[in-house]
Amino acid sequence: MSNTGILYSFIGGAIVGAAAALLLAPEKGENTRRRIKEILQKKGILCSDNEIDALVEQLTEEMDAK
C-alpha cells in the first residue's frame, strides 16, 4: 500500500471515529434533565426542576450502588 493509501485510510478512520464519538457521547446533564421532564409531562406527570434534580440524584445513587 502506498503512503497516500495509508494517509487516506488514517483520515477515513479518524472521521469515522469522530462521528461515532459524537453519536455515542452522553448528553449534558441539563439536556438530560430537560428530556426527562418532557417525557414525564407527556405521561401526565408534572414535576418541578427541583423534583427532577432529586430524581436524577436518586437514580444516579442507585446506579452507582450496583
Q: State the pLDDT at residue 23.
A: 63
pLDDT digits (tens, 9 = 90+) for 15-62: 777 777 766 677 777 787 788 788 888 888 888 888 888 887 887 788
Q: For residue 6, what pLDDT band results from cuts at 50, 70 and 90? A: confident
Q: What's this model's pTM, rounded to 2 decimal places?
A: 0.47
- Among 63, 28, 26, 29, residue whose Cα is nearest residue 49: 29
Q: Output the nine-digit C-alpha cell for 64.
A: 452507582
Number of helices (H) and strands (E) in the chain: give both, helices first.
3, 0
**Host domain of residue 55:** 3-65
Please say whether the beta carbons of 25 and 6 come within 8 A: no
User: In total, how many domains does the chain have?
Assistant: 1
Question: What's the rounded Cα separation, in Å, for the pair 55 and 65?
Answer: 15
Asked if residue 47 lies in contact with residue 37, where contact means CB atoms within 8 angstroms, the answer is yes
